[in-house]
């Protein structure tokens, strides 16, 4: 696990070194796309970027989260790499993800991501699983966008041939750009088997390098702040689950050069 983290960190440093001359402006739409988790939304970003994020679910040391991610845009294409770990030393899940998305005609993009899941528990045999997701993101007009994603559509199982099926997840997203500094989105999420959730979010840029987000769903409320300084941006998110409590998250990212 440590070897994988070091290799990924070296890759991020190389990409960062090669992009020292890059800088592009962000707006409310880009802030939404940075936070959007759909692979097909990545080709619509105005820039490539690398980021590291760490968080803590419900202020429990056993529920720590850490993620390294890189999105490399080239013309109509976007390449996605991610390494994340949820849990702690005695129990957790390490996820390695690679993805690709491509834009067609300037308004529609499709994407796919492949996941390798490594679950470890003390005194038990580790579990190895694989799955994938597919997504579509479309710019219906200059202000309106639509996204759709299915996670594990093939209903693959934990441990490849294990008894338990990895839950499917359906996500539908509608995003509306009210102005260059203000946008809104509505997202519907359904797990099979599992919960159903609906959330509404607002993204606002009150100052040139200052961004705010607020989201509210059936299960929690989220407030986010992002500050941009040249090519770097710093993110703080606070999520409050109505039953389980508070979950903080901090991150730092850097814009890379885009070749169009």
Q: What is the mean pLDDT of residues 216-227?
A: 95
Q: What is the mean pLDDT of residues 249-254?
A: 94
Closest-CA residue to 5 (of 79, 92, 74): 92
Please determine, for residue 233, whether its predicted confidence score (pLDDT) is greater than 60.
yes
Q: Say what the pLDDT of residue 135 is.
A: 97
The SS3 assignment for 12 reads: helix
The mean-pLDDT minimum among 12-21, 41-50, 68-77, 127-136 falls in: 12-21
What are the pLDDT digits (tens) for 113-136? 999 999 999 888 899 999 999 999
Q: Say what the pLDDT of residue 1 is.
A: 52
| CATH, domain range 2-256 | 2.40.160.40
Cα(198)–Cα(200) distance, rounded to whole angstroms?
7
Please determine, for residue 188, whether its predicted confidence score (pLDDT) is greater than 70.
yes
Burial code (b: 16+ CB inside 10 Å, e: under 16) for 205-242 equals beeeeebbbebebeebebebebebeebebebebebeee
Q: Say what the pLDDT of residue 257 is.
A: 65
What are the pLDDT digits (tens) for 22-36? 344 567 888 888 888
Name the CA dihedral angle for 85, 88, 93, 99, rounded to a multiple of 10 degrees.
Answer: 0
Please determine, for residue 19, whether its predicted confidence score (pLDDT) is greater than 80.
no
What are the pLDDT digits (tens) for 173-183? 999 999 989 99
Q: What is the mean pLDDT of residues 3-19?
A: 44
Q: Is residue 138 within 8 Å of residue 146, measured between CB atoms? A: yes
Q: Which residues are 51's β-sheet partners?
A: 69, 253
pLDDT band for 102, please (50, 70, 90 cuts): very high
pLDDT band for 258, please (50, 70, 90 cuts): low
Q: What is the mean pLDDT of residues 193-221?
A: 93
Name the CA dihedral angle for 175, 177, 182, 184, rounded to a multiple of 10 degrees.
Answer: -20
Q: Is residue 175 within 8 Å of residue 183, measured between CB atoms? A: yes
Q: Where are the domains of the chain?
A: 2-256
Q: What is the pTM of this model?
A: 0.84
Q: Say what the pLDDT of residue 16 is.
A: 41
Please determine, for residue 172, whether its predicted confidence score (pLDDT) is greater than 80.
yes
Q: Say what the pLDDT of residue 21 is.
A: 37
* Burial of 1: CB neighbours in 10 Å, binned 0-12, 13-18, 19+: exposed
Cα(154)–Cα(148) distance, rounded to whole angstroms?
16
How far from chain centre, in Å, is Cα 126? 26
């Amino acid at each position: 696990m440590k070897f994988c983290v070091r290799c990924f960190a070296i890759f991020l440093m190389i990409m960062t070194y090669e992009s020292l001359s890059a800088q592009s402006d962000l707006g409310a739409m880009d802030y939404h796309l940075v936070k959007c988790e759909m692979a097909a939304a990545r080709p619509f970003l105005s820039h490539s970027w690398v980021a590291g994020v760490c968080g803590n679910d419900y202020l429990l040391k056993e529920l720590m989260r850490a993620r390294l991610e890189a999105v490399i845009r080239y013309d109509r294409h976007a390449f996605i790499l991610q390494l994340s770990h949820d849990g702690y030393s005695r129990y957790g899940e390490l996820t390695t993800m690679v993805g690709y998305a491509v834009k067609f005609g300037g308004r529609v993009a499709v994407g796919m991501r492949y996941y390798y899941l490594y679950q470890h528990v003390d005194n038990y045999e580790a579990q190895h699983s694989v799955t994938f997701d597919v997504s579509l993101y479309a710019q219906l007009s200059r202000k309106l966008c639509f996204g759709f994603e299915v996670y594990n559509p093939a209903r693959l199982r934990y441990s490849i041939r294990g008894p338990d099926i990895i839950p499917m997840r359906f996500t539908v997203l509608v995003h509306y750009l009210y102005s260059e500094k203000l946008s809104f989105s509505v997202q519907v999420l359904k797990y099979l088997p599992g919960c159903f959730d609906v959330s509404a979010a607002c993204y606002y840029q009150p100052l040139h390098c200052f961004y705010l987000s607020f989201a509210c769903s059936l299960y929690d409320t989220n407030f986010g702040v992002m500050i941009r300084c040249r090519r770097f941006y710093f993110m703080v998110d606070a999520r409050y689950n109505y039953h389980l409590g508070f979950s903080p998250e901090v991150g730092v990212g850097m814009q890379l050069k885009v070749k169009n």
